[in-house]
Structure 1
Amino acid sequence: MNKRLKPVLALILTMFMSVSTLSNTYTVSAEGEETVTTEQTTTEDVNEQEEVEDNNVNEEDSSNVEEVTPEEDTSEDVASEEPVVEEKLGDASMMEYFLVDSPVVDNSVTENFVLSLNNTEGYSDFRITVKKSDGSTFDLESNEQVDNLIKFSRVFSAEEKGEYLVASLHYSLNGEKYYLNFGDLGMNVKFGVDQEYTGYDETLPDMTEDISEEEEELNNSVIQVTDVNKASEEVAEGMMAQDFPAAMAMIDEDIDTQSNEGITLCLDPGHGGAESGTLNYNGTGLEKDYNLKIAKYCYDELQKYNCKVVMTRSTDKYMGLEERAEYAKQQGAQYLISFHLNASVSHQAYGAEVYYPNTNWRPDISAKGKVMAQAIQNQLVSLGLHDRRIKFRTIDINEYPNPHRYDDNSIADYYGVIRNAKTRGITGLIIEHCCVDNESDFNKYLGSEEKIKQLGVADANGIVAALGLTKVVANTNPSVTYQTHVQDYGWQEWKNDGEMSGTSGQSKRLEGINIKLQNLSGSVEYQTHVQDIGWQGWKSNGAMAGTSGQSKRLEAIKIKLSGDAANKYDIYYRVHAQDYGWLGWAKNGESAGSEGYSKRLEGIEIKLVKKGGAAPGSTSRPFVCKTITYQTHVQNIGWQAEKADGEVSGTSGQSLRLEAIKIKLGSSIDGGLTYATHVQDIGWQSFVSNGQLSGTAGQSKRLEAIKINLTGNAANQYDIYYRVHAQNFGWLGWAKNGQSAGTAGYSYRLEAIQIVLVPKGGNAPGSTTNHYYNKGHAADDESTVLTKPNTSKPSTNNTASDKTPIMGATQTSVAQMVRYYNSKSSGYDTFTGENKKYNGSLAKGGASTIEQFAQIVYEEAKAEGVRAEVVFAQCMLETGFLKYGGDVLPNQYNFAGIGATGAVHGASFENVRVGVRAHVQHLKAYASLDGLTQQCVDPRFNLVARGCAQYVEWLGMKENPKGYGWASAKNYGPNIVNMVINLLSK
């Protein structure tokens, strides 16, 4: 047989044994060692607590705990046949393991035993001595050998009922005879014929639902055997075709461990928050804190190797078991390694042990876990820790008649961390490093920071050995590295040159950041804009910017280089901001993010570019800030909250007058502004500036018109546009740079206002005609006399002055659209009646939440220059707030009734985004003559009379001057306008 196949046979047998029936297990137990209790509290269902009276060991053990290491001290004196004089005491290292098939075997059924040798050269004449409880003994010679596996078999008769003990092994080596007493090796190899042996029921776990953690029997091996004949070369070769490289490497050091480039490890410090775990021996320390320290040292050591490492927690916080496994899955981890410390009732137990997954359902996961468990255990034992061995535990159906089961109906792992990991395709482990309540263990392994560190490093070394990780070759190229502190997750791993740090799609805020240069002289400096704090001072070269432990979001950042680095490189950076997504690239100290909107940063990318080189991407709009803010005093309401950059301040549809206003420029704008208002019974007041009150307070006088001017450098860089909602006129056109907006001579109140800054010479936000009515004069012209203008309400006036443009700058936000939807509907992505079968269609189409849906509307509308609030409002009208019920079905992703007439369902689209894009393009066809910026997906785009409905009011055929329109229903357009107004008030 090929030498490389030898270790596979051992693996095969181990796997065969593990997948046998649960009753077909055998526990080799050793007395004289304290049973361990790992005292997990609250939700951790790794519940382990043994009943121990005085110093007597309760030999409790799940019938599914496997322990690999064969050697263990024991105080039990196992009687065995006295060896004949010519036999010598053998070397136990010749034996890899000894296995017995059934702890209880029926008469007339073959009982099998298997001995695995570490080396077969020179060995022969194997026999075992078996002792019955009545004192009688018999020898059993091997009846089969396959490579290093030696099989013994016997069929017992009904007359041989009783308890038995495999007492010793006898063999020849190069002609010399040797023996090994199993009792001397801590191997209590018992079985029964037609009855359970004494202590068999004690090997079953004493589990109850109201205890915190129950520990398996500590020092024994579950051992099972199948027909050795099945361990043929053909079977071995079949196993070789599967992916067991790490498992084979453990068994045969000559087999190279495979490369694990790109593997992700999730380290899980056990307990946390209110769940403290157990106390140390003198009651001065908590397990959760030691677990975290050990895990952090392990994390630091693993940073040197070619793997990605994440941690479930880096601070003192509580996490549920399923939450830990789910986090590991989200991070793409293949392993979830949980860090714990043991404890016992008598405080006398000592040593280390590692739990790995059972073989049920996913034996591949068990095999990988076993390899890593043994590798970690080896490293811990090398520190001097007592070897409590590796093991797995399966739920005992005697205690839990309705246990957790895996998809194939096999019984699940007992421990929640391991079980929840396995159901997500992840290999879970629990490392019990030592006994924290044992004074000796504590002083030797936890008594100082250096001793704690050696545990974490040992864990890392075991992981490295199991996976064959290699050290990362130092990068000699100049680069920038950075790490972020993320809400709930803590510090993330370091990222390099353009990699994203943070999260996407999880709504998690960044709270802190560290940035460093590598292989480059000079410095990197950075400052962050923090919630409730504003811009902090500059930090440099790895110092933390932001806050720690205060749960405050980062909102913006500036980064710059200094020294030699600044002469050779530009530093570019962009951020993923709440509601905005990825903004453009900023560089060399520019602001990135937002200011004044309370939007969190969620991710960041930073990149070095050679001086003068091209930017990594678009540099448009890296920073969103409030360029202008304003606040109005409203009749019966008082001062409203501050608004900014085109948001509506005031009211609509409530007939409430504006009485005063304050306006100021954002901190990022260099310059100032002045403004004056036309007030009831007073007329034009004098100009005021920069946040001063214009109008009246406490006099119940209406504002009727307003003028606003920029001053200083602001006037050179921007135009200021503003429009008002006037009584009887509705929204007037946009005025700019000191023009009057409103009315004079009509005694009409202003009810609302919008103000925006536009880069000098840029396009106006909308129509600029009819922004001011002065009685007896032409609109917008104070020098020309004409008759009184039409003062009827906008819904019946077909002039453009009071209409709502479809094209133009969006005046809403994702959050505002969401608030509007939630005020009108509930049960997103659920339907009623015949459409109930379409529940979840929107999620399948890429919009699992209303937030995601609104974000898509915002992005698609912006891409074509269509106002998002118009798209969203029309979508809600057409779909009944996404409940459908008409001709169009939810899974068509048709949000505007495109092509739907009568019983015709209309157009269908492949997902939500494409459907929204078609809606936006159809609106653009009505409202504009401009071409599309994205590929046309609207099947009826070319059927529309382009530009026939520039205003929302004209989307209805009955209100359209030329009779064109989207729909024939009366007031179709005005109804959408009312919805837009309602939306903008949220």
Structure 2
Amino acid sequence: MIFLMTKRILFRIISTILVLVMCFNLLPEYGFGTIVSKASANDPIVIVLDPGHGGSDNGACNSSLGTNEKNSNWEITLACKAYLENYENVKVIMTRANRDEYSSLSARVEVAKVNEADLFVSLHNNSTSYDVSAVNGCEVYRSVVEPFASNTNQLAADICANLAALGLTNRGVKTRKSTYLPDDDYYTVIADCVMNGIPSLIVEHAFVNNKFDAGFLNSPSKLKAMGEADAKAIAKYFNLKWKGTGNAGYPTLEVTPFMESYGWIATAPNAMAAGFVTYRNGDHRDKKLQAFKIDLNNDGVAGDINYQVYNGSTGWQPQVTSGKVAGSTNSKSMLEAIKINLTGDIASKYDVYYRVLSGETGWLGWASNGNPAGKVGFGAEIKAIQVRLIAKGGKAPTSNVSAYLEAAKAPETAKVAYLTHIQTYGWEVAEAYDGLTSGTSGQSKRLESIVIRNNTGVPGSIEYQVHCQTYGWMDWKADGEMAGTSGEGKRLEAIRIKLTGELEEKYDVYYRVHAQSYGWLDWAKNGQDAGTSGFSKRLEAIEIKLVEKGGTAPGATDRPYVTVNVKYQTHVQTFGWQSNVSDGQVSGTTGKSKRLEGIKIVNSSGIEGSIRYKVHCQTYGWMDWVSDGAMAGTTGESKRLEAICIELTGKLAEKYDVYYRVHCQTFGWLDWAKNGEPSGSAGYAKRLEGIQIMFVLKGEAAPGAVDKPYITAYEEEASTDEDSSEEDAIETVETSYEEKVKVVATEDELCVATPTDIIKIEE
């Protein structure tokens, strides 16, 4: 390293002298700081690709993830080279012949120098010593020296964008300055290329020690895709022409896509996919194609190319011609289908074939010459398109998948139309409308996604949001967009629907769902929740109606949504704290002779008010009231709970009664107690083993028998009032004769009961 830096410093000194000499016109006007031009414009473009590391130098590795930088670099470079060689007038050279060969850094640059390279790209992968779960993605290093910095900056950005389109995180264009020479580059290959007038980059594709990125590095198809992503950006940098299409009489086309969140991304030449083909699992890389343009290079053949798109909100758009934008860069735009056709002489000599990548089902079949391709009415957004020019009589692409599908529309008189995707069956073939059922009942089939559209003609939108298994509440969708998932086997559990604009002023939207275990719930309205939460219950069907403002609801509206009202967890002997349960589920154990030692209870209803509770605990008797998730009881003291009281406050108490019952040693399940009544036993030294708690609407029936929630051994039942006297401190002591002796602890003394107070207990 010292030798290299000394050499570079000497070169700087010498180059400074040369610059002074150049001022006196004694040397040609190129050298350090100048990009060397070709002697002839007809010479092939020379691109040197450097697969980083090699031989005994493995680069960055991670044995637990199975990643090896040397091997990944090699595969990416091979793919990049193979793709670039599809272009005309280009020569691609690699700095080493195989993955097991090692070359010094200076030898790699020497390959570029000897071959008079127009570009040197060193292909690598990254590693980090920081949080490996948080640091991932691609980055590209360019020179800090002008004009090399300006010359390669856009190329570096394009490579990053192309790699990000595959699903990698875009860490952006980077630079690193020399430690010794602030105006020079840190990386030797970049600095040495600058010395020789060669533009250069270092591409760091992914992190070998990041689990997500390792999924790319361990996948041959994704390594190939990364190499091709590099190649596409390089082809754009040099404006390369695809082989067999650049000469007169051989027309070519290029498709440039505009993607949601990313804008315009890499142009795809004839037959290549334009858009996002690979998706990232962590963030649902489900970005949609919003617009595209096709550039037709006729090369002497008269005619043009026309294309149009189907927008999920507005239907088929007017045709546009070569170079014009079809679709919209507005974030609301959603393309569902396309048509492309040729005109003029070119139409008599060529066919145009095209297909779309549907976000719901993958690649559809090939359409041609103006026929539609896509899925209309299913909310299936297009992610990418592929377009090919085929000479008449040439071999056409084939597929066993339909190119175009369209759902049967609701009648023109319908106000609201909707369509659901059902487990096993897929999308329904026809829209339901105006309160008709979409989905199934009695077949145990989940709804997985839904599309809804306004059919009134009144300005405004129908917006909707679904609660989906695993993902929770997903983003709002509108006007025919798909809400939910497809191909993931995820159930919908709840939905919200609302109106906007003039539509909202004129109508209320009512909707109800058929939920697993509950059947048809009541009607929700204008954005209210419909379905269930916290129970993992699938939606099976839905009905939606628009009702004029102030009109009567289509049915009962009391219970459109079932949610968890109360959550609770217990601390159990031996096992410790158990997971939260809710709404009547059992917390604790039965049949294992394990005592409850502590409990926490939380109001999850969303209604204002608290839930208060106190326990009768071994040794301590009745303990203080606690509320809203605080612990009642003990931990680490091996003290049993013997009884409990629970009550509600505020608006919560106005709407609900709280019922609870306990599983008690010897006695088993007792009956239900209510609103602060004691539940358990007194005077028997019996442990609580399990508990159930639930809210019941005021006036509704109890969940079961209520006759015997509490068993006491005393002639006069002990009071559970906070202000009660000595009975609050009653505990039980066992004699050697297995008799229970009643002991009363007062402020002044501890008194043992007289023999006449001894109570015989039969186990």
Q: TM-score range by the shorter chain?
A: 0.3 to 0.5
Quick check: which one's helix share is greater? 1
Quick check: which one's strand share is greater? 2
With a CA cutoff of 8 Å and minimum separation of 6, indicate the structure with the bigger relative contact order.
1
TM-score, normalised with respect to structure 1: 0.32
TM-score, normalised with respect to structure 2: 0.41
